[in-house]
Structure 1
Amino acid sequence: MSQTMRAAVVTAFGDPDVLQIQQLPVPQPGPGDVLVDVHVTDLIFVETAIRAGQHGNFFDVTPPYVPGNSFGGVVRAVGEGVDPGWIGKSVTGRTAHFGAHAEQAVAPASGLVELPPALTLETAVAVSGDGYTALMLEELAPDLAGRHVLITAAAGGMGILLVQLAHRAGAHVIAAARGQAKLDLVKAHHADVVIDYSKPGWEKSVLEATDGAGADVVFDGAGGALGATAFEVVADGGWFSAHGAPSGGFAPYDEAEAERRGITVKGIRDLRADTTTTTVSAGQVLARAARGDLVPVVDRVFDLEQLADAHRALTSRELVGKALIRIR
């Protein structure tokens, strides 16, 4: 095996041009770890924000670093205490911190899931990261059956999955996205009402769709001003998740107002496995995908050398669905 590998490196916080492909030493698996030949990786919006130098209070990372977290590939070697039977298996997993956008990556063996026969590696990776978060939200949220559920950024990788989960749970699904192509996509995935939130006064359409009462549950994947507007149309006694920040920050809201109206608010820390208790497992995500509960939509697959282009496509909102990165 070569002692070096190609890897994407965030050389400094900044625009996508700070991403460079470099030759780095192949990492070695420590106790409890595996070394994986990475074939495909995920790209989610928060990674573009971290690369730009945002969210330092949530993610402790300093350049230079290799970005990426969720991956799919083949186990090449195992560290001390790990069953050598993993070697040669196609798996999905998550690195402990970052480091997945490289030809080889080290990850905890405890988080590996062998690829189910019903899924391709690309589909498994496409659903792994967003699916994990979506199932955590499903676990955190109140019962969705018969509720008005508003989902913003509904045509994004995770938004699509939330639309599917809410529909399957028996909710009245209101999906908000930008532009006709994205509205058509979420409609095809069983949204009951679709709203273009690039149009002024879009929140009035939410109220119309809920007979003036507002949404019982809001999954806000947009953040910023859009998220703030979404908070305004939560019904009294409702539930609001401020987990998305593609608009520049997580949805701002008035805590006193939330308390006065009896609104339960969940933030990004409630969706981090290291800061909350969850029963969701990576294996459960793939099992739900294998039986059709979670169907990821992949818009484009970029080569590793095109990672900067993938970041630009994601931040410019030109993607309908997910972006994946092909490593080999």
Structure 2
Amino acid sequence: MRVIGIRAFGPPEVLGVDERPEPEPGAGQAVMAVETAGVGYGDVIVRSGRYPVPLPYVPGIEVGGEVVAVGPGTDRSLLGRRVVATTVGNAGGYAERALVPVAWTFPVPDGMPLATALAVFQAGAVASGMLSAMRVREGETVLITAAAGRIGSLLVQFAKAGGATVIGAAGAGKRAAVEDFGADHVVDYGTEDWPDRVRGLTGGGVDVVLDAVGGEVAAQALRAAADGRGRFGVYGFASGDWLSLDAQEIARRGLTVAGPLGMVFAKPEAEQRADAERALAAAADGRLRPRIHATFPLDRAADAHAEIEKRRSVGAVLLTA
């Protein structure tokens, strides 16, 4: 079968087509005929060498398609079902066949396009879980950086649905998209005074910040948190650098800093699965609207990575096998 593999870390062009044997499912596992696979910023980070893994490596954490084989002792009624799933070992999704754990497969709701289900089941679960981890309450103000991204766009929608006032921060040219996701206000973090504008909009700063960018953008977002009550959630470093925290500043300003993504993944599996099911249900009834930015064929995975790395994407980027 065809896969997209990484033999050396580097630019998108290191992604190349390889041939691999089809996977054999073990107990509690299934094989999916992959129709579509998600391309996340985590894939970009691994490919670039900023989070090294043993090589050769086949990326791909989220996949959607039809179950074509199941392991011993596994419910055979799964055969032929169209599902979305995470991959075994969080790898191997950029392929014509992928190995998935049965416990992390989810039926695609009736009438829902497979691409929609793929874009929402994991990213939506993470977004919902992080808002819960940060204890966002109705009436609070929330600043979300990378608000046009795959997870950021869902954070905006979930926070707004929960009764928060949402301020989305995004790069130039993405304002309309963030407004369409439901943000009450949008700021361009390419301008130097945007943290001051946020503090002005909120009368002193936001209750909660969720940051996926890191670096200078995160440092500026920290300035926008309300003294005495601000809660700052760090869950990514799309800029290439983690936020450098000054403990003295945190203590002086009375801020709380948390890692909500780690908190989500530390929850019991049953709770994580329930988050994914809630995200799919919310998309099925129209409360959550994931956006598909672009879809590329499998052999153009390098173009998909470039689209994300150059920060052109709004919403999800997918591959089709």
Matched with 1:191 is: 183
Matched with 2:301 is: 307
Structure 2: how far apart are the matches of 1:170 and 1:38?
38
Matched with 2:76 is: 84
> Over residues 236-279 of structure 1, what are the superposed CA-to-partner deviations in whole Å (9 max), with x where a residue is unaligned?
22211111211013322223432443322222662552x44472
Q: TM-score if structure 2 supplies the norm length?
A: 0.94
Q: TM-score if structure 1 supplies the norm length?
A: 0.92
Aligned length: 316
| Residues 239-278 of structure 1 mapped to structure 2, 5 A cutoff | 239-267=231-259, 270-271=262-263, 273=265, 275-277=266-268
Stretch moving more, 248-257 or 125-134: 248-257
Structure 2: how far apart are the matches of 1:157 and 1:218?
17
Contact 1:231–1:253 (CA under 8 A) maintained in structure 2: no
**Selected match of 1:17 from 2, 9, 13:** 13
Matched with 2:55 is: 63
Find the residue that maps to 2:183 and give its secondary structure: coil
| Residues 1-328 of structure 1 mapped to structure 2, 5 A cutoff | 5-56=1-52, 61-97=53-89, 98-180=91-173, 182-211=174-203, 213-236=204-227, 237-267=229-259, 270-271=262-263, 273=265, 275-277=266-268, 279-281=271-273, 282-327=276-321
Q: Which runs of 5+ in 2 are unaligned?
A: none
Given residue 43 of structure 1, which amino acid in structure 2 is its aligned partner? V
* 1:108–1:298 Cα change, 3 Å: same
Structure 1: how far apart are the matches of 2:245 and 2:285?
37
Contact 2:125–2:272 (CA under 8 A) maintained in structure 1: yes
State the Cα RMSD in Å.
1.6
**Which structure carries more helix by proportion?**
2
> Over residues 86-114 of structure 1, what are the superposed CA-to-partner deviations in whole Å (9 max), with x where a residue is unaligned?
00000010012211110001111011111
Of all paired residues, the percent bearing the same amino acid is 38
Find the residue that maps to 1:34 and give its secondary structure: strand
Given residue 310 of structure 1, which amino acid in structure 2 is its aligned partner? A
Find the residue that maps to 1:142 and give its secondary structure: coil
Contact 2:121–2:277 (CA under 8 A) maintained in structure 1: no
Find the residue that maps to 2:226 and give its secondary structure: strand
